[in-house]
Chain A
């Protein structure tokens, strides 16, 4: 069982993710350099957060043309699980593994804070949580405002593919608990097949009680349990 974290020039959450999956959870984890063209023996791919290629042009756009992404697409198409965190979510949208787009936060400025997320546990990435459980995970982004056509949003809703929504501590979902203006308070979604997750919040940053909470570990635990059972 092996987790592969793709390192792009400019990303920075690869080491935090490595720490969470390897040092905290004890799973075999390795870095995959963006120039590599292989995903040998990898069971879970993580696209980390940060500013790949400086986020010049469009967030995630340049990374979506990098050699490794073709491999990630092939891996995902074969059913391999993929998690895109923050910038990784943006890369997944740009590479069309997920629908929609992430644009500038409604208030136009970067936001870093702990966010409350309401969990839909009907996915391989969230099965370790209770359904509708409220978890605390930090966000840190300037462009996390998820937007998509009405038909896509309807599809996401009807197919139960919105896995995380920004909410209040008690689970209310409305504009006042939406940090970036995303449609329907979307914080994380999966693809049709259910094996690709994109989320703006950083689960790797909620990996220990000492640093404010460990609610993020459930995502890695959920998907790794699935991998181990397969």
Chain B
């Protein structure tokens, strides 16, 4: 009988093992067990999320792919062009080995994009770390940022946006989510499959080494504490090789002889080859002896499960590989024919002449599906009432100023310039709006279109209520796109959650999908691709549920994109939304609550239909060229938004309102669906005509410097200085 330790190493349970024996009608051999461990891992088999993923809105009139069917999702933007995009996490590897973990995370997501035949045109990333005042966290953060910079800059893909936030919830369990966007002619999109028996399976790129074995099953499927010893499971990246692979593969992609292309990512050849065969409804014969290896004596098990980076698989018509090999030779890339697609449904593995395994593919690829509702049954999320200190509702100038100063110096609010300066964001010469705004904008050469792209997610709000928090995350992602004047048309989701085998983790996932479905329906934005990283459990507890949303919007090239900040003195300031002031309950899950109350409690709320209206409104104002700047109110509330609007061009603001007695909620409540914009006074008439009177108000005027409300005067210089000082410790 199999030992529990062996199963644990493969992240299989005893009942799963029994299921394997039952399906095979025999005991699996060592290699076969490895194949199951990899393919039945969450990373490849989605055994805890598949049921939920099926419920998600993944189609619209623009989608070109079935969700999860290809390496990434593709969306039609007209002119025979498709945008391909996906987000992927590399959390556990980055926790163990920050530089290489993050670097190979970038490498992996880029391969997913060019496997579709698409030229990668943008990278974004969402990062989460524990508090910077703890040494280990600064070490992780530095390693991750250097890794993204070191790997990404080599590739010639602009890194144009994202976010970097800190919360004790990510202590020992950082999140590194990387998103890549590519472009391809619709009629040239590649599929990750073969066409007919006899098609050859060829491996390209790096030799296969002993690195990364059990990456998918081990690292990504176990609690963090168990993975510290798995350092050898982290892969090492070679961005130079990746760059050659991009160019060579995109050149190969134009040849008729090429049938399909697939990234060799998590679970290595096993997952890549077997999933290719499954998609093609074909069998597959592989000779592991044909795989170029880095060192002698590697076993078939190691070869099949290695996660060595910078490898691609292609399916090629039999005897028609000559031109492909010529291109690979031009780029000095190694390749080898390692198998062929065959009739039937089996994967047959040989080591030279020696037979090792014959296993039905559909058995390997049909991981058990767990019903999360059974796991979460009976679980009620603990409700914690919001605590408001007495001083929060008694107006006191000095206290308010001290709170403003502290919040604007928070690592979550300060300028992230030191970070994105390390990423090339100009290469490919398409960047119209650089990092630092609500979203980034790139133009698409050869068309009259531009894309707005963002990548973020508020996990504290999801910690308060995962369903509403997820609705807010999608709403905010779309809002970030809309303030640029673009219409959001597609999303990709990075699910970062705790242990789904525990009631809390299961509940949070279920609620998140409910929120997604509500929001996707309203904003008409399908989730076209995504990634699930579960088992994110730090030493003390699971992370806040962190659904990261990558959003893409489209706009005409002639649209003048508004700036984030005010641009000239004398401009009027407007607020789109029901109310200028935040509320006390809006402090739930806020940055204010994190800093001053060290708490996560309360209730959150969003009216999605109203949110949709104000997003349509802001787009209309941009399209009619009536406004000069637009910025949404999010983390840090109204006060932080005003400061950031002033800071960009070193201006000030006079707000013709009195701050209410409950200043904390009013200034720092993170109530949703509010956008600050500025405009020439002469445009007011036109704006009033376009907007419903109850949805907006003029709140003040842009001034030379400092921020004035009717009952307070706030000097801006020192605030700007705190903001521009950047992180509390150097990243």
Contact = CB atoms under 8 A, between A and B. Distances in A.
A211 B243 contact: no
Contact of B427 (A13, A54, A109): A13
A205 B426 contact: yes
Contacts of A208: 429
B422 A110 contact: yes
B422 A19 contact: no
Contacts, number: 88
B243 A138 contact: no
Interface string A1-41: 00000000110110110011000000000000101000000
Given A51-B154, A54-B154, A207-B429, A112 B240 contact: no
A113 interface: yes
Given A111-B422, A202-B426, A51 B431 contact: no
A16 B431 contact: no
B155 interface: yes
Nearest to A142: B153
A109 B243 contact: no
Interface in A178-230: 202, 204-205, 207-208, 210-212
A19 B240 contact: no
Contacts of A56: 240
B501 interface: no
Interface string B686-710: 0000000000000000000000000
A202 B425 CA distance: 12
A12 B239 CA distance: 13
Contacts of B430: 211
A211 B432 contact: yes
Nearest to B246: A12
Contacts of A35: 330
A202 B158 CA distance: 14
Contact of A10 (B244, B330, B445): B244
Contact of A19 (B425, B432, B445): B445
Contact of B431 (A20, A50, A211): A211
A111 B421 contact: yes
Nearest to B248: A9
Interface in B228-287: 238-241, 243-244
Interface string A81-122: 000000000000000000000000000011111000000000
B237 to A, nearest CB: 11
**Interface range on chain A (Cβ under 8 Å from partner):** 20 to 34
Contact of A51 (B243, B425, B445): B243
B427 A16 contact: yes
B182 to A, nearest CB: 15
B118 to A, nearest CB: 15
B429 A51 contact: no
B429 A204 contact: yes
Nearest to B156: A12
B663 interface: no
A205 B332 contact: no
A210 B443 CA distance: 9
Contact of B428 (A16, A20, A33): A16
B152 to A, nearest CB: 10
Contacts of A10: 154, 240, 243-244
B149 interface: yes
Nearest to B422: A110
Contacts of A202: 426
Contacts of A177: none
A210 B432 contact: yes
A19 B427 contact: no
A53 interface: yes
B427 A12 contact: yes
Interface in B424-446: 424-432, 434, 443, 445
Contacts of B713: none
Contacts of B243: 9-10, 12, 51, 54
Interface in B388-438: 420-432, 434
Contacts of B240: 9-10, 51, 53-56
B156 A109 contact: no
A110 B424 CA distance: 9
Nearest to A202: B426
B596 interface: no
Nearest to B430: A211
Interface residues of B, number: 33
B179 to A, nearest CB: 19
Contacts of A54: 154, 238-241, 243
A110 B149 contact: yes
B331 interface: yes
A16 B432 CA distance: 15
A208 to B, nearest CB: 7
A140 interface: yes
Interface in A27-74: 33, 35, 50-51, 53-56
A205 B156 CA distance: 12
Contact of B426 (A33, A51, A138, A210): A138
A50 B426 CA distance: 12
A56 B431 CA distance: 28
A212 B431 contact: yes
A69 to B, nearest CB: 17
A205 B158 CA distance: 12
Nearest to B241: A54
Contacts of A9: 240, 243-244, 331-332
A112 B445 contact: no
Nearest to A216: B429
Contacts of A109: 146, 149, 422
B669 to A, nearest CB: 35
Contacts of A112: 153, 420-426
Interface in A136-153: 138, 140, 142
A9 to B, nearest CB: 6
A9 B425 CA distance: 21
Contacts of B421: 110-113
A12 B246 CA distance: 11
Contact of B429 (A113, A142, A205): A205
B358 to A, nearest CB: 41
Contacts of A204: 429
A23 to B, nearest CB: 8
A20 B429 contact: yes
Contacts of A51: 153-154, 239-240, 243
Contacts of B146: 109
A209 B148 CA distance: 29
Interface string B463-479: 00000000000000000
B190 to A, nearest CB: 21
A53 B331 CA distance: 11
Interface in B134-163: 146, 149-150, 153-156
Contacts of B244: 9-10
Given A142-B153, A211-B429, 12 more contacts: A9-B240, A9-B332, A16-B427, A33-B330, A54-B240, A56-B240, A112-B421, A112-B423, A112-B424, A205-B429, A212-B431, A212-B432
Interface of B: 146, 149-150, 153-156, 238-241, 243-244, 330-332, 420-432, 434, 443, 445, 557
The 9 lowest CB-CB distance pairs between A and B, nearest first, are: A12-B156, A54-B240, A140-B424, A138-B426, A205-B426, A51-B154, A16-B429, A112-B424, A110-B422
Interface of A: 9-10, 12-13, 15-16, 19-20, 33, 35, 50-51, 53-56, 109-113, 138, 140, 142, 202, 204-205, 207-208, 210-212
29 contacts: A9-B244, A10-B240, A10-B243, A10-B244, A12-B427, A13-B156, A15-B428, A19-B445, A33-B330, A35-B330, A50-B154, A51-B154, A51-B239, A54-B240, A55-B154, A110-B150, A111-B421, A112-B420, A112-B423, A113-B421, A140-B426, A204-B429, A207-B429, A210-B432, A210-B557, A211-B432, A211-B443, A212-B426, A212-B434
